Amino acid sequence: MLWGVSISLSPGLVEPVRGIGDSRAWRAMRWAWREYRTARLFGDKDNMTEKAFKIRMLQESVGIKLSDFSELGIVWPTELDLAIKP
């Protein structure tokens, strides 16, 4: 469990963990964005990637549009990708 959410490979991609309040999730997301911007300032790609995953999990948890972080070159799985796998 990371930042109050659990990773799931189901079509939902990330399943919110019961018990985390929206205010805690928003606070954690704001902190993760701050850390992401700091890592970007210093060119730390590993830390940027870690924070990008945290941010996306928290965005899924609160039900907002997911950021794509195109500058990292990560191809994020979609619901369609997960449904097509044999």
pLDDT digits (tens, 9 = 90+) for 30-75: 999 999 999 999 999 999 999 999 999 898 888 888 888 888 888 7
Task: Please answer whether residues 22 and 62 qualify as being in contact, where contact means their C-beta atoms are separated by less than 8 angstroms.
Answer: yes
Higher pLDDT, 20 or 65: 65
| Number of domains, the chain | 1
Phi/psi for 10 (5° steps) reads: -75, 170
Beta-sheet strands, E only, within the chain: 5-7, 14-16
The domain of 60 spans: 5-84
